[in-house]
Amino acid sequence: MTDAIRGLGEFGLIRKLTEQLKQGDTVVHGIGDDCAVLAVGEKQLLLTCDASLEDVHFKRHWGKPEDIGWKAAVSALSDIAAMGGRATAVLVTLALPEDLPVSYAEGLYRGLADAVESVGATIVGGDTTASRSGIIIDITVIGEVVGRPVLRSGAQPGDVIAVTGAIGERGAGLHALLHDVDASELIRAYLHPSPRIEAGQWFQAQPGVHAMMDVSDGLLPDARHIAQASGVGIDLFSDKLPKNDRLDAYWKSQGEGGSLQRVRSGEEYELLVVLAAAEFDMICEAFSRYTGLLISVIGECTKSHEGIQLDGSIPGATGFEHFCGRD
Amino acid sequence: MTDAIRGLGEFGLIRKLTEQLKQGDTVVHGIGDDCAVLAVGEKQLLLTCDASLEDVHFKRHWGKPEDIGWKAAVSALSDIAAMGGRATAVLVTLALPEDLPVSYAEGLYRGLADAVESVGATIVGGDTTASRSGIIIDITVIGEVVGRPVLRSGAQPGDVIAVTGAIGERGAGLHALLHDVDASELIRAYLHPSPRIEAGQWFQAQPGVHAMMDVSDGLLPDARHIAQASGVGIDLFSDKLPKNDRLDAYWKSQGEGGSLQRVRSGEEYELLVVLAAAEFDMICEAFSRYTGLLISVIGECTKSHEGIQLDGSIPGATGFEHFCGRD
């Protein structure tokens, strides 16, 4: 019997496909971070792409077409934020069913363009094709390194790890959509994440920021990416997640504690930031003052174990990954 | 009743979606050519993407997975050739059904990587996701302008228009696949087109080359793109297509003359080149000597009419376009 890619896991599959690839001279950082970094003359470019498929990443009835477009664009723009960079140009691949109403296609594109323009970037091209199987959106973002690219690999034992924003709200919004719960504010948070481009640029300017990525698969799997790339262990503490009465009330109404849901919630598009221990107080305070955003220290880096631990134990299922035999 | 995008035509839909877009300061050429051109410091980047969907662009049984991957990559690399540029970096978005054999995914990726490496470029990143609806491949290519970008808009009345290679062979190969005809060499030509990157760079270095694009929709619609972008008319002559006994024999066996099929054949990935009349002889001869490729003058630019004419008449259906109510 032939093995199927189901069960290999998204990251296992990527490793298998890409392990033989050659690297060009101008590639500063290739596969393995939020963006690739490419040298172009004196500049360093950031390159990333992100696909959103109907019935895999979204259901059409979840929101307006503008929401679907906005979120698809933010999922790619967020990778530029994660490197501390600036987004400049965007390519949009759209595969659309032939019976899609023109007004829907226009709304989708307007949502995409709004997200792109909100960070000062421009849609410069793309591809438009018929689809026999629902809406497919693939967004490529070209950005520029500002100062330095902040990688996943810079975390050191003793560093602290922090996360921006009301982490977990998008996961609750997704849960509400999937289970038909009336929770409009959380659903709005899920459908309309903010690209943290400005916050990412602020962080890259602080020498005490050692590593960064965005929370797209979930706090636990994304912290594990940092741990692996940096060769450190990471301890996370669920009681350090920022207080959130709305979230607590939501999960209580669903008969759940909520903290496990919050650390496993993907598509948050907040920033996970690793900071030098001596400076984290100063950096966090200045960050909040500058951006008006919440930042919460939720753990620390260690050399006493590998991988991640949550509240002192190795967590089971950690977050979302394609090709794991789950939906 | 709500209008569907079916019937709007691919190019009508693109116009509708993109007419409100803002253009950024660093955008040298935005939507409307084979690639976007972006200023990055002293350099000019080329950006393009191209999607290949199972059951829209290909059937899995048409070839080996390596063939499907190769062709998907060439369709995007060809846009860099059309600008006379150099391909540097590639992003690969793959959406794959969970039951796809691992060996198939590996073959697909190997074909992609072979095409990318054949032109000296490097795969630097991408996105991998589950698909509920067949294989989806979206290839983004980042290139660099060499000398100058050759646009669609430079054609002048009196210029001649030429095409490289054995134009029409891929269309016959596709016909053979769709109608289950035994024509392995033509099928091979369809599945394994060559990216004309070297040829494109050679043309950009000739000041007598005024406009260029690649043949992806078909000679007729692509010549019309040049005519529209340049504000000229173009006359094409089917008896000037290069002689091709294999093609003639194929179409004869199918009860067809073949010349109409040749001018409507898409996915050829040959170059359509507009040349100054005074220099075309010299350029064509030097091109053949330098590249070993065929080049055929097939028409001329005129101010005596708009759009395109074939053998003195306005052609009917011209080539492939999505959302035209056809497959």
pLDDT digits (tens, 9 = 90+) for A275-320: 999 999 999 999 999 999 999 999 999 999 999 999 999 987 667 7
* B51-to-A53, A72, B82, B85, B193 alpha-carbon distances in Å: 14, 17, 17, 20, 16
Please say if the pLDDT value at position A25 is more than 90.
Answer: no
Model confidence band, residue B308 (pLDDT cutoffs 50, 70, 90) = very high
Model confidence band, residue B2 (pLDDT cutoffs 50, 70, 90) = low
Q: What ipTM was assigned to the predicted interfaces of this complex?
A: 0.94
CB-CB neighbors (< 8 A) of B5 in chain A: 96, 98-102, 105
* Angle between helical axes of A169-178 and A245-253 (0-180°, round to 10): 30
The residue among A55, A131, A143, A242 whose CA lies nearest residue B129 is: A55
User: Under an 8 A CB cutoff, do A129 and B89 touch?
Assistant: no
> Coil, helix or strand for B38?
strand
* Rounded Cα distance, B179 and B214, in Å: 26
User: Under an 8 A CB cutoff, do A113 and B20 touch?
Assistant: yes
What is the mean predicted confidence (pLDDT) over A149-169? 97
Q: Which of B26, B45, B127 sits opposite A40 (nearest CB)?
A: B45
Residue B150 neighbours by CB under 8 Å, 6+ apart: B82, B83, B84, B200, B203, B204, B209, B211, B212
Please give the pLDDT value at position B83.
98
Please give the pLDDT value at position B327.
38
Distance from CA of A98 to the nearest CA of B (A): 5
Mutate to test the interface with A, among B11, B91, B116, B117 (most CBs of A within 10 A): B91
* Rounded Cα distance, A73 and A51, in Å: 9
* Rounded Cα distance, B259 and B171, in Å: 11
Q: Looking at the complex, does the CB of residue B8 fall below 8 Å from at least one CB of chain A?
A: yes
Sign (positive/negative) of CA torsion A237, A243, A245, A247?
negative
Distance from CA of B258 to the nearest CA of A (A): 27
Comparing B22-26, B243-247, B312-316, which segment has the lowest mean pLDDT? Answer: B22-26
* Percent of chain B whose predicted confidence (pLDDT) is above 90: 87
Under a CB-based contact definition with an 8 Å cutoff, are residues B154 and B29 in contact?
A: no
Please give the pLDDT value at position A11.
87
What is the mean predicted confidence (pLDDT) over A253-270? 93
The residue among B167, B190, B174, B182 whose CA lies nearest residue B293 is: B167
Residue A61 neighbours by CB under 8 Å, 6+ apart: none
What number of residues does chain A have?
Answer: 327
Please say if the pLDDT value at position B155 is more than 80.
Answer: yes
Enumerate the H helices of B38-195 as residue ranges: 65-82, 102-118, 169-178, 184-191
Domains and CATH numbers, chain A: 5-145 (3.30.1330.10), 152-326 (3.90.650.10)
User: Measured in whole angstroms, how far is the alpha carbon of residue A266 from the centre of its chain?
Assistant: 7
Q: Looking at the complex, does the CB of residue A259 fall below 8 Å from at least one CB of chain B?
A: no
CB-CB neighbors (< 8 A) of A128 in chain B: 10, 13-14, 17, 322
Beta strands A122-131; B43-53: pairing state: unpaired
Please give the pLDDT value at position A206.
97
Please give the pLDDT value at position B325.
59
The residue among B8, B89, B215, B298 whose CA lies nearest residue A128 is: B8
CB-CB neighbors (< 8 A) of A132 in chain B: 53, 55-56, 133-134
Closest residue of chain A to B126, computed from CA coordinates: A49
Q: Looking at the complex, does the CB of residue B12 fall below 8 Å from at least one CB of chain A?
A: no
CB-CB neighbors (< 8 A) of A149 in chain B: none
What number of residues does chain B have?
Answer: 327
Beta strands B233-236; B43-53: pairing state: unpaired
* Rounded Cα distance, A25 and B122, in Å: 9
Q: How many other β-carbons are positioned within 10 Å of the β-carbon of residue A168?
A: 29
* Rounded Cα distance, A110 and A27, in Å: 33
Please say if the pLDDT value at position A326 is more than 60.
Answer: no
User: Under an 8 A CB cutoff, do A124 and B31 touch?
Assistant: yes
What is the mean predicted confidence (pLDDT) over B267-282? 97
Model confidence band, residue B326 (pLDDT cutoffs 50, 70, 90) = very low
Please give the pLDDT value at position A251.
96
pLDDT tens sequence across B80-105:
999 999 999 999 999 999 999 999 99
Please say if the pLDDT value at position A327 is more than 60.
Answer: no
Q: Looking at the complex, does the CB of residue B144 fall below 8 Å from at least one CB of chain A?
A: yes
Please give the pLDDT value at position B316.
79
Model confidence band, residue A32 (pLDDT cutoffs 50, 70, 90) = confident
Comparing A21-30, A221-230, A245-254, which segment has the lowest mean pLDDT? Answer: A21-30
Q: Which residue has the higher pLDDT, A11 or A144?
A: A144
pTM of the predicted model as reported, rounded to 2 decimal places: 0.95
